Amino acid sequence: MQAERLAVAEVAADRLREERDGDDDIVQAVPPEQLEPLNRALAEAALATPALDYVGAVLQMQRYARRVAAFWDDVDVVLTPGLGVKSRLVPPGASEATLERADALSAYVIETIREDAMGARPGTHLEVTLPAEASTVDLASVRDALAGLGRRGIAVSVRCDAPVSAAIPGPPATEGGGGVS
The answer to whether residues 56 and 110 belong to one domain is no
Task: Kindly state whether residue 180 falls inside one of the protein's structural domains.
Answer: no
Cβ pair 146, 156 in contact under 8 A: yes
Give the end of a domain, one of 34, 54, 73: 73
pLDDT, tens only, 155-181: 999 998 877 555 555 555 555 544 443
Q: Are residues 64 and 119 in the same domain?
A: no
- In a shared domain, residues 91 and 160: yes
Nearest 10 degrees: Cα torsion 165, 169, 170, 173: 170
Residue 40 belongs to a domain? yes
Determine which helix (DSSP H) or strand (DSSP E) holds 87, and give its type and residue range. strand 84-90
Provide the domain count of the chain: 2
Report yes or no on 171 lying in a domain: no
Q: What is the pTM of this model?
A: 0.48
Residue 120, burial from CB neighbour count under 10 angstroms (0-12, 13-18, 19+) = buried
Count the helix, strand and coil residues of the chain and give each as a percent rounded to the nearest 5: 55, 15, 35
Last residue of a domain, one of 43, 73, 103: 73
Domain that holds residue 110: 84-164
Instruction: Give backbone dihedrals phi and psi of 168, rounded to 5 degrees, phi first.
Output: -70, 130
Per-residue DSSP letters for 121-154? PTT-EEEEEE-TT--HHHHHHHHHHHGGGGGGT-
Quick one: 29 and 61 in the same domain?
yes
At 47, the amino acid letter reads: L
Residue 152 in any domain: the answer is yes
In a domain, 125, yes or no: yes
Residue 154 lies in a domain: yes
Is residue 174 situated within a structural domain?
Answer: no
Clarify whether residues 69 and 88 are in a common domain.
no
pLDDT tens sequence across 58-73: 899 999 888 888 877 7
pLDDT in tens, 134-151: 888 888 889 999 988 999
pLDDT tens figures, 8-20 = 667 666 666 666 5
Q: Give the C-alpha separation, 181 to 173, whole Å.
A: 9
